[in-house]
Amino acid sequence: MGTEPNHIVETPELPNSWKEIQPDLIYRTSEPRLVSFNKTQIQLGILYDPIGKHLKAINKGLVSPKGSMGIVPSEEPDYDFKSKVLGKGGDRRFHGKIIEDILHFPGKLTNH
């Protein structure tokens, strides 16, 4: 894996389905970035993102705010990033905050 720190290499990859995610477990995205989700966020994902487009966006990582699917800066106070998807499901955003170098999604949902 080259120069990646060991804690990133040993961390499980982010699943493709909200139902496979365990609350507060730390996952590795393809960027690589460390992410975690609380129970509320997982429930919102199951309810509003049944095919996992937001998970794919989170897994992809930082993108340009215009015309791309991924994570972009959040305009919500106390939040750092948000998921951005295009097409069906694109009217919602899941917001996350950096806590000790981990992008944590606590269950903040907004409509775009």
- Kindly indicate the confidence band of residue 112, based on its pLDDT and cuts at 50, 70 and 90: confident
- Placement of tokens 């775009």 in the chain: 112
Cα-flanking dihedrals φ and ψ of residue 16, to 5°?
-90, -10
Mean per-residue pLDDT of the chain: 91
Residue 1 has pLDDT above 50, yes or no: no
What phi, psi does 7 have (nearest 5°)? Answer: -65, -25
Q: Which two tokens stand for residue 101?
A: 């170098």
pTM of this structure: 0.89
Among the listed residues 23, 85, 11, the one whose alpha carbon sits nearest the alpha carbon of residue 55? 85
For 44, counting Cβ atoms within 10 Å of its Cβ (0-12 exposed, 13-18 middle, 19+ buried), the class is: buried
Helix (H, G, I), strand (E, B) or coil at 5: coil
DSSP result, 35-64: EEE-HHHHHHHHHH-TT-HHHHHHHH-B--
The string of pLDDT tens digits covering residues 57-86 is 999 999 998 889 999 999 999 999 999 998
Contacts of 24 (CB under 8 A, 6+ apart): 36, 37, 38
